[in-house]
Amino acid sequence: MTNLPAVNKVRSALDACQDGYSLPSAFYNDEALFQADIEAIFYNDWLFAGPECEIPNPGDYITLTVHEAPIIVLRDNEGEIRAFHNSCRHRGSRLCDKARGHTGRLVCPYHQWTYELSGNLVSTRYMGESFDASKFPLKPVHVTSIEGLLYICLADAPPDIERFRAAISPYIAPHDPRRTKIVHESVIVEEANWKLVIENNRECYHCAGNHPELLVSLVEMALPEDARFGDEFRIMEQKAREWDALGLPHRPVDGGNEFRCIRLPFREGAYSMTLDGKPASKKLLGELTEADLGSVRAFRAPNNWHHFLSEMTIHFRVLPLGPNRTEVRTTWCVHEDAVEGWDCEVEHLSHVWVETNDQDKRLAEENQIGTRSPGYQPGPYSEVSEFMILNFLDWYRGKLEAWIGAPASTLA
């Protein structure tokens, strides 16, 4: 049923937006607009759940919570990946409260209804002869693996993900993410709206003033043609020739406003996103033969970005916890055969992005505080340095426009 007050609120908030300017305060602070983000976007679009290498064997699972929707993603006995609502079909109890684990069956802790990894209900007690367990399987959630990146979608009819798959697969397949393992994880909570977290990630305007560790390796340009970066441009030209010879795609893909994928070089002399620029692991990924490959940077709205290096992958997952609270989970992966202490050291490989995440957390939180000020007025983005935010906000406003055109609202 259409929820008119919510629709009207979104409509007037959208009407108050000015092209090229940051969003009105309500988009970062208002509870009703946050609910609209959940319905229009987080309950509707494809979300990055985690790297597939976290569940390599049958019975392995991870859980995550999308606003109020607890989800379990697992590998079944046939090796297929499945996702379910983590809510029992008896009286709804959450089935599994662990972040990850391994199990042969899913047993509800409340009254022990028991499900197979296929989601089928196979055992109950005292439900009577006429009880038909086949009518109560776990509710499935759409899930797909794109070269080892797990995406879920809570909508009944998910939007297209094949364009994204086709575009990014050639860039990331050479890094063979399925044959990696997680060596470090960080979960931080930022006191900021999820859009401020994403906006912050979509520009490097703030990098010079805030990210000394990251800038040991990262070039601040987002496109190879960026005329502002003379020296970096020369590195790009030389690397482009080398990558062409290796058959590694690097040109920016056309993801519209929905996604982005490009391979960019690191700064001269840097091999990896480490403080000394040295490789994070001795074992190169996949069948790669060169250590100096910069990184494939992939982003997909609304909740994830990734770096694929020659010897490490880093994955970032953003989940909204409230209008002013957002969880950011980062996972660092190396070759599945790499030996910690011999091929890699966790402190060495994770330091740069642990520090960078902490710096970005403070930036997003200060931004959040400022948007609550009665003196806050949307300000202009730099078209040169912040064009990826403009793309993101075009995407975002389009999602809300589509939603108020046809809100499948369950809001009270």
Amino acid of residue 378:
P
CA distance 175 to 146: 13
Q: Is 332 in the site for ligand 3BY (CB under 6 A)?
A: no
Q: Verify binding: residue 305, ligand 3BY, rule CB under 6 A.
A: yes
Our finding on whether 251 is near ligand FES (CB under 6 A) is no
Furthest C-alpha separation in the chain: 77
351: enclosing H helix or E strand: helix 346-371
| DSSP labels, 12-69 | HHHHT--TTBPPPTHHHH-HHHHHHHIIIIITTSEEEEEEGGGS-STTEEEEEEETTE
How many other C-beta atoms are found inside a 10 Å radius of the C-beta of residue 354?
16
Closer residue to ligand FES (CB): 93 or 186: 93
The yes or no reply on residue 131 touching ligand FES (CB under 6 A) is: no
- Tell me which residue has its CB nearest to ligand 3BY: 204
Distance of CA 305 to the CA centre of its chain: 5
Shortest Å, Cβ 305 to ligand 3BY: 5
Contact 143, 73 (CB under 8 A): yes
Spatial distance between the Cα atoms of 345 and 243, rounded to a whole number of angstroms:
28
User: Nearest 5°: CA angle at 348, between 284 and 172?
Assistant: 35
Size of the chain, expressed as the number of residues it contains: 412
Shortest distance, position 335 Cβ to ligand 3BY, whole Å: 22
Shortest approach of Fe ion to residue 48 CB, angstroms? 19
Cβ of residue 123: shortest distance to Fe ion, in angstroms?
50
Considering the rule CB under 6 A, would residue 221 count as an interface residue with ligand 3BY?
Answer: no
Between residues 73 and 204, which has the closer beta carbon with respect to ligand 3BY? Answer: 204
H or E, element range at 299: strand 295-300
Any contact of residue 93 with ligand FES (CB under 6 A)? yes
Q: 110, 276, 290, 347: which one contacts ligand FES (CB under 6 A)?
A: 110
Report the interface residues with Fe ion, using CB under 5 A.
Answer: 360
72 is a contact residue toward ligand FES (CB under 6 A): no
Binding range to ligand 3BY, per CB under 6 A, among 9-17, 129-137, 201-209, 280-288: 201-209
Cβ proximity to ligand FES: between 111 and 325 the closer is 111
Cα distances (angstroms) measured from residue 226 to each of 78, 223, 358, 382: 48, 6, 28, 14
Least distance (Å) from ligand 3BY to the CB of residue 208? 11
Distance CA 120, CA 307 (A): 37
Name the minimum Å distance from CB 388 to Fe ion.
Answer: 12
Note whether 218 binds ligand 3BY by CB under 6 A: yes
Q: Which stretch binds ligand 3BY (CB under 6 A): 24-32, 51-59, 199-207, 362-370?
A: 199-207
Q: What is the DSSP letter of 189?
A: E
Indicate the residue whose CB is closest to Fe ion: 360
Our CB check for Fe ion shows the closer of 60 and 360 to be: 360
Backbone phi, psi, residue 235, to 5°: -60, -45
H or E, element range at 321: strand 313-322
Q: Which does 310 bind (CB under 5 to 8 A by kind): ligand 3BY, ligand FES, Fe ion, none?
A: none
Residue 113 binds to ligand FES (criterion: CB under 6 A): yes
- Binding residues for ligand 3BY, how many (CB under 6 A)? 5
- In the bound complex, what is the minimum distance in angstroms from residue 399's beta carbon to Fe ion? 24
3-state secondary structure of 290: coil
Q: How far is the CB of 316 from ligand 3BY (least distance, A)?
A: 7
Sites of contact with ligand FES (CB under 6 A): 88, 90-91, 93, 108, 110-113
Sites of contact with ligand 3BY (CB under 6 A): 201, 204, 207, 218, 305
